[in-house]
Amino acid sequence: MAHSKAEYFSSGVEGALILLAAASIAYTALERLHQPKPIEQVGLGLVISVLASLVNFGVAHVLATAGRRYRSITLEADAKHLMTDVWTSAGVLVGVGAVALTGFHWLDPIIALLVAVNIVWSGVQLVRQSALGLLDTAWPAEERTGITQMLDNYSTQGVKYHSLRTRQAGTRRFMSVHILVPGAWTVQRGHDLLDEIESKIRQMLPEVTILTHLEPIEAPVSFAASQLDRAISWN
């Protein structure tokens, strides 16, 4: 798990670099806003920017797709880092076009500042996501909802649950839950139920580490814990 969490440190560093790039763009744009200068070597600069943007966009798309597929925040961070170059190049193209059409040289730094703001937002989101990963945040709401709906279906058998906990570290998922069954059930029946529940969860979310605990529903402590968990979830 320690190696999995190293991904969050890596993505956090990339997020910081993205913020640094945005600050550099904003600083340069403010200088040019105070002292507008004519754009030099427009033709060569535009050609290089377009070619670089196309390459970076293609690579960023591949990395982003792989990052979502393998749940790798490092790959997603690399994709966002490359996209900052794409947005910068797009800002250059728009800025040069605006200056060429209007003759107002101050439009170029204004557009650069807007690009910097967009890049800052991307960097902040990445740093925030990395920080939450280091804090072992719960799974996304849609994944937790799928699990609770599946568990709720067992209520017709007199089965309840409580203490459902989820967290994610890098590409690894972890989950624990207490299953409450009628005390008259045999150990074998309870064990088979846990196997069935764990199998269904793994079908929904592969590569998850599951810890289940079986309890008699008649036990006052189990019932109180179940009621408390539901009260907290309602709030």
Q: Mind listing the pLDDT tens digit for each residue in 111-153?
A: 888 888 888 888 888 888 777 766 667 777 888 899 999 999 9
- Would you state the pLDDT for residue 234? 36
AA letter at 57: F
Q: What is the pLDDT of residues 96-120, one digit of tens each?
A: 777 777 877 788 888 888 888 888 8
Instruction: Give the pLDDT mean for 228-232.
Output: 47
- Neighbour-count burial for 68-93, b at 16+ CB within 10 Å, e otherwise: eeeebbbbbbbbbbbbbbbbbbbbbb
Q: How confident is the model at residue 90 (pLDDT cuts 50, 70, 90)?
A: confident
Q: What is the pLDDT of residues 160-219, one digit of tens each?
A: 999 899 887 666 788 999 999 999 999 999 999 999 999 999 998 877 889 999 999 887
Long-range CB contacts for residues 135-141, cutoff 8 Å, separation at least 24: 136/167, 136/168, 136/169, 137/167, 137/168, 138/165, 138/166, 138/167, 138/168, 139/166, 139/167, 139/168, 139/173, 139/175
- Would you state the pLDDT for residue 171? 66
Strand ranges of the sheet holding 208-216, from the earlier edge strand across to the other edge:
160-169, 172-181, 208-216
Q: How confident is the model at residue 231 (pLDDT cuts 50, 70, 90)?
A: very low
- Would you state the pLDDT for residue 79? 84
Token output for 77: 């961070």
Token output for 32: 């040019």
| pTM of structure | 0.56
Q: Which residue has the tokens 């008699």?
A: 216
Query: Is pLDDT of 88 > 60?
Result: yes
